[in-house]
């Protein structure tokens, strides 16, 4: 549909299409550039959309998700081989709709001009901050949560008044096709373009001169994206990954900690950028952790080999990567503890959950992105903290403790992109909290007001009063000027 009309009701049907969003057809550099140019020119012709138009775009996005909920879920399940609709509803549909609702509730207020102070020598002038759209936002979404990690940045772009161009992952082709088709039905080519394809499309996409580029993916690819953006001085938001630790303090309730850690780890079979990557646990409680984890898996994923609630690995290459990492650790003396009776099945890309002790090699050094969970024992809490702080700052940190002093110590010493205390993952589902990384885990943050401000230019405006003393600052710089400077610099 065209850019939605301002009076469109929340669940009203889309208007007749008057244009088409760019889809996988934009596979050549020429088509990609044409889609970019249409959006770029529209952003310059209409640089400050009012709230009714922004609201209408958000409502159209909401309608698109609601109407295609099962279509998107089925497409994602095809891409993964198996992923339950319930998991897609919980981890993608629900948080996407929540982001939209939050933006609809607060966006008009975020847009308002903000008064700013004027220093005493410049009174009675006035100053204010005018939030303005940056213009055209590029979004590169990954395969692991292909809907939510496209919609989240898109909501921020729309509420801030921008146009957007989304590149979807070639590793989730069924979803990419479904999303592109839905976008074409709900938005015109001057509002949103959706692009599909592999590296041959991704490279020229990230080299386009966007007003801002949001990339979600691996740290390794993040280096290439940053280099491509640098040629155009394109501002970046990088949502990367890394080894996000969970730390079970000595006072923690072990059963509660295990339940939260396993729930966070096995969602999407561990293919989550903020999944607990490894667990620091008191040495004396290591065996108890394994026993509790086995019991948790038995309760929540019985008969795991045929369990419809357990997701599979996205493709053979990722399955092989995980298997290589596990075999490399075992060859160096690590031990693996199966948490179910299921055997790995490469043909179905089924990888059962494992706990690994004495992990080395890639399992210890690289983001795992799968259902393998290393345990790292410690003897003293400060030893555990030192283990975390000696490594690159993680995207997420999960401390488990009920002791206020322990919590304060951990939060004071560990810097991470985001933190959930006594749970995992849930900080990402709060629209009132910014989501982003730090250092090797990323730069910049979005969601809620943080996303609005990230994809806005907070333009400072100084308005001079009719009666003012600015003339006193002009040459010739003689006695009166020197006296004024002496007064101002006291």
Element (H, E) at 109: helix 94-111
Per DSSP, the residues of 358-412 read: S--THHHHS---SSEEEEEEESSHHHHHHHHHTSPPPSEEEEE---HHHHHHHHH
- Bridge partners of residue 280, in order along the sequence: 247, 376
Query: Has 10 been annotated as catalytic?
Result: no
Cβ atoms of 202 and 27 closer than 8 Å: no
Torsion (CA) 173, 179, 180, 181 in degrees, nearest 10: 110
Say if CB 354 and CB 326 are below 8 A apart: yes
For the beta sheet containing 114-116, the strands, ordered from the edge strand earlier in sequence to the opposite edge, are 114-116, 126-133, 456-463
The two structure tokens encoding residue 176: 């990419």
Residue 248 to residue 239: CA distance in whole angstroms? 26
Give alpha helix (H) positions in 112-253.
148-159, 173-186, 199-206, 219-230
The tokens for 457 are: 């230019």
Residues in the chain: 490
Conformational region of residue 343, where left means phi above 0, alpha means psi within -120 to 50, and beta covers everything else:
beta
CA pair distance 14, 188, nearest whole angstrom: 11
Contacts (Cβ under 8 Å, ≥6 apart) of 331? none
DSSP helix/strand/coil, 105: helix
Q: How does DSSP classify residue 2? A: P
Interacting residues of 391 by C-beta distance below 8 A, sequence separation 6+: 243
Catalytic-role residue among 87, 92, 99, 239: 239
Annotated catalytic residues are: 239
């Amino acid at each position: 549909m065209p850019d939605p009309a301002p009076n469109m009701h929340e669940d009203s049907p889309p208007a007749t299409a008057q244009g088409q969003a760019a889809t996988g057809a934009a596979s050549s550099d020429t088509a990609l550039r044409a889609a970019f140019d249409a959006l770029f020119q529209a952003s310059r012709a209409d640089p400050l959309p009012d709230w009714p138009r922004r609201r209408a775009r958000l409502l159209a996005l909401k309608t698109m998700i609601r109407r295609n909920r099962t279509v998107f879920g089925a497409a994602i399940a095809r891409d993964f081989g198996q992923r339950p609709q319930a998991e897609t509803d919980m981890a993608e549909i629900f948080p996407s709709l929540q982001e939209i609702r939050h933006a609809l509730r607060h966006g008009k207020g975020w847009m308002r001009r903000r008064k700013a102070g004027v220093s005493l020598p410049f009174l009675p002038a006035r100053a204010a901050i005018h939030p303005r759209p940056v213009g055209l936002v590029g979004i590169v979404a990954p395969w692991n949560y292909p809907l939510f990690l496209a919609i989240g940045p898109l909501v921020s772009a729309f509420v801030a008044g921008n146009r957007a161009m989304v590149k979807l992952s070639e590793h989730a082709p069924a979803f990419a096709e479904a999303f592109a088709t839905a976008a074409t039905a709900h938005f015109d080519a001057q509002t949103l373009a959706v692009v599909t394809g592999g590296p041959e499309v991704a490279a020229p996409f990230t080299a386009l001169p966007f007003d801002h580029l949001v990339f979600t993916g691996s740290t390794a690819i993040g280096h290439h994206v940053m280099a491509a953006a640098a040629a155009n001085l394109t501002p970046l938001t990088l949502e990367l990954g890394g080894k996000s630790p969970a730390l079970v303090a000595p006072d923690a309730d072990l059963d509660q900690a295990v339940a939260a850690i396993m729930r966070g780890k096995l969602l999407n079979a561990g293919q989550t950028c903020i999944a607990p990557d490894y667990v620091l646990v008191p040495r004396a409680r290591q065996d108890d952790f394994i026993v509790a984890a086995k019991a948790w898996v038995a309760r929540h994923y019985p008969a795991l080999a045929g369990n419809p609630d357990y997701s599979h690995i996205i493709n053979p290459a990722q399955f092989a990567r995980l298997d290589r990492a596990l075999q490399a650790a075992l060859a160096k003396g690590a031990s693996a503890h199966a948490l179910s009776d299921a055997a790995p099945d490469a043909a179905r890309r089924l990888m059962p959950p494992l706990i690994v002790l004495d992990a080395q090699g890639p399992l210890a050094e690289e983001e795992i992105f799968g259902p393998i969970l290393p345990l790292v024992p410690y003897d003293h809490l400060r030893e555990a903290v030192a283990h975390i702080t000696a490594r690159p700052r993680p995207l997420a940190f999960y401390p488990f403790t009920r002791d206020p002093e322990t919590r304060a110590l951990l939060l004071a010493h560990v810097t991470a992109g985001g933190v959930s205390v006594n749970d995992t993952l849930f900080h990402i589902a709060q629209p009132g909290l910014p989501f982003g990384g730090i250092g090797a885990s990323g730069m910049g943050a979005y969601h809620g007001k943080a996303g609005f401000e990230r994809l806005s230019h907070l333009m400072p405006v100084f308005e001079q009063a009719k009666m003012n003393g600015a003339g006193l600052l002009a040459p010739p710089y003689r006695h009166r000027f020197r006296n004024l400077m002496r007064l101002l610099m006291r």
